[in-house]
Copies of this chain bind each other. A is one copy, B any other.
Amino acid sequence: MNAKPILIYDTTLRDGSQGEGVSFSLQDKLNIAERLAEIGIDFIEGGYPLSNEKDVAFFREIKKRNLGNSKVCAFGMTRRKSMKAEDDPGMKALVQAETPCITLVGKTWDYHATEVLRVTLEENLAMIGESGEFLARSAELIYDAEHFFDGYNANPEYAIKTLKAAASAGATWLSLCDTNGGTLPERIREVTAAAIEALADYDVQIGIHCHNDCELAVANSLAAVDAGATQVQGTINGIGERCGNVDLITVMSNLSLKKKGYSVLGGRSLKPLTELSRFVYETANLQWRNNQPFVGQSAFAHKGGMHVHAINKAAKTYEHIDPALVGNERRILVSELSGRSNIAALANKHNLEDDRELMDKILAEVVRLENQGYQFENAGASFDLLVKRVSGTYTPHFETIKYRVVAGDRSTESEQRSVFAEAIIKLKVGETLWFDAAEGHGPINALDAALRKALADEYPMLAEMRLTDYKVRVVESSSGTEASIRVNIESCDEHESWGTIGVSENIIEASWSALVDAVEYKLHKSEKK
């Protein structure tokens, strides 16, 4: 059976950038567009040329790059009311972007046209038709029917008329948008099928554009495809306004690996998806979503001892696909819930499974540390170092002679309060002693700064890493501040992110241990290359 190709339309750079906390520089946008083209995304929406200079510059620069078969799209609204299309600044900006595709958005919902735009229903149809005709002379035209499903519910005849106006104007694609994300899958399927039937006499194809406000964006996109849509619009990692757009990574994975009869990206491999996901998070300076389907760090992570036991016998018992298909990997978490199977599986990754004696030593060390409050499930890097230490292959890159922090509310002559933090450290690197001090926003920040200062000459690669998260928890909470403190630090460089842990009654000592492990992990990693 021939798989039916479903084209992928990415709007990370436009709709995605409407997400809270998302802001791309020009360089970010160019880098992301190149990555999208590399994996074979069919359409790449670059921005809104009327809205800002950055997007204008994007369209100018992107022309110089080789994007293979991917088509860049400029996005804009229909002409203003009572104005000729060729006189409208938005129309002109779209044409001047000189992209192979133009995406035009127009109003479907009668209520929206009359109440918000304050135009008659006829004028709205003219705005769609005339804008479309004007733009279709310069580029392939994609029409986004805003609020299509709400509009269809309110006035189905009129909603279909707006689609026909766009199709008659020369659009090759009509994208049905669930703008508010409030439609349920059964309704998406039904209305998409109705639209396809109503447009049967036109030479257009149908796309779907979903938002995740009911956590149904993926199901809705798949339902539309089942109803006959052949293009899916969305963003990488589902970033976007409110609850986000549909996550194209999940959509592509489901269409290609889970559903039958469809193909995406011209049949190319999905292996680059995990790396693409992380690249976009890093570029947008967003936290990775660990439990993200298919590509998240936890997507194939196993914690319960029962599960781990079964995984070792037969992976399919707890994995719905082979993680390698999307470039991800299985992770075995070490935790209080897990038994010996978890440790064995981790050791497996280190090729230790044959060394029974070493395995027992590692297990004993993990149990000893767990009794002190360690938990390695979020601290794979610390576990790596533990394996090296127990097996005698660990060589520290520096030795701590001493460290100290001072922090408080400095008394001053004036009434002004002044909070401060300082750290001093003494390290031995090879045969050299380094004694350094640094100030920071808080004691951990000061320690981090002092540590980097002391190691910068010998280990310049530390400039590539940064701390991305810091968490503290009392391990046995029945005794308050006298109990043990568990510190987790998350660090990353451009290739991966890694977790380390420190436990002590003293939060400063726990933080220092986690910090030292984070740096040692990076240094061991660099050595390997």
Residues of chain A touching chain B, judged by Cβ–Cβ distance below 8 Å, are: 17-21, 23, 25, 27, 51-52, 77, 109, 111-112, 115-116, 147, 179-182, 184-186, 212-216, 218-219, 222, 226, 238, 241-244, 247, 250, 253-254, 258-259, 285-287, 289-294, 296-304, 306-307, 309-310, 313-314, 316-321, 333, 335-337, 375, 377-378, 400-411, 419-421, 426, 440-445, 448, 466-474, 476-478, 480-483, 485, 490-491, 504-509, 512
Q: A116-B314, A442-B508 are in contact. Are A405 and B402 (CB under 8 A)?
A: no
Q: Chain B contacts of A321 at CB under 8 A?
A: 182
- Cross-interface CB contact of A287 among B216, B254, B403, B478, cutoff 8 Å: B478
Q: Across the interface, do B336 and A506 meet the contact criterion of CB distance under 8 Å?
A: no
- Cross-interface CB contact of A298 among B20, B250, B301, B320, cutoff 8 Å: B20
When C-beta atoms are compared, the residue in chain B nearest to A28 turns out to be: B477
Give the Cβ gap from A526 to chain B, nearest Cβ, in Å: 19
Give the Cβ gap from A242 to chain B, nearest Cβ, in Å: 6
- Cross-interface CB contact of A403 among B298, B408, B505, B506, cutoff 8 Å: B408
Q: Once bound together, how far apart are the Cα atoms of A336 and B473, in whole Å?
A: 23
- Cross-interface CB contact of A441 among B241, B247, B482, cutoff 8 Å: B482
Q: A285-B473, A443-B508 are in contact. Are A184 and B222 (CB under 8 A)?
A: yes
Give the Cβ gap from A230 to chain B, nearest Cβ, in Å: 19
Q: List 9 A-B contacts (CB under 8 A).
A: A21-B378, A213-B320, A214-B254, A216-B254, A419-B505, A442-B485, A448-B481, A466-B480, A470-B477
Q: Across the interface, do A20 and B377 meet the contact criterion of CB distance under 8 Å?
A: yes
Q: Chain B contacts of A214 at CB under 8 A?
A: 218, 250, 253-254, 258, 293-294, 320
Q: Chain B contacts of A407 at CB under 8 A?
A: 404-405, 443, 506-509
Most chain B CB within 10 A, of A21, A320, A411, A471, is at: A21
When C-beta atoms are compared, the residue in chain B nearest to A444 turns out to be: B481
Q: A291-B19, A468-B480, A474-B469 are in contact. Are A216 and B213 (CB under 8 A)?
A: no
When C-beta atoms are compared, the residue in chain B nearest to A478 turns out to be: B285
Q: Across the interface, do A25 and B477 meet the contact criterion of CB distance under 8 Å?
A: yes
Q: Across the interface, do B20 and A303 meet the contact criterion of CB distance under 8 Å?
A: yes
- Cross-interface CB contact of A442 among B17, B27, B507, cutoff 8 Å: B507
Q: A243-B298, A471-B472 are in contact. Are A408 and B404 (CB under 8 A)?
A: yes
- Cross-interface CB contact of A299 among B213, B298, B301, B509, cutoff 8 Å: B213
Q: Once bound together, how far apart are the Cα atoms of A496 and B77, in whole Å?
A: 38
Q: A291-B244, A469-B477 are in contact. Are A115 and B314 (CB under 8 A)?
A: yes
Give the Cβ gap from A359 to chain B, nearest Cβ, in Å: 22
Q: Once bound together, how far apart are the Cα atoms of A180 and B320, in whole Å?
A: 6
Q: Chain B contacts of A181 at CB under 8 A?
A: 320
Give the Cβ gap from A132 to chain B, nearest Cβ, in Å: 19
Q: Once bound together, how far apart are the Cα atoms of A400 and B415, in whole Å?
A: 12
- Cross-interface CB contact of A419 among B444, B469, B504, cutoff 8 Å: B504
Q: Chain B contacts of A52 at CB under 8 A?
A: 336
Q: Across the interface, do A470 and B478 meet the contact criterion of CB distance under 8 Å?
A: no
Q: Across the interface, do A18 and B241 meet the contact criterion of CB distance under 8 Å?
A: no
Q: Once bound together, how far apart are the Cα atoms of A186 and B259, in whole Å?
A: 11
Q: Once bound together, how far apart are the Cα atoms of A243 and B215, in whole Å?
A: 14
Q: Chain B contacts of A304 at CB under 8 A?
A: 18, 241
Give the Cβ gap from A130 to chain B, nearest Cβ, in Å: 20
- Cross-interface CB contact of A219 among B219, B253, B286, B481, cutoff 8 Å: B219
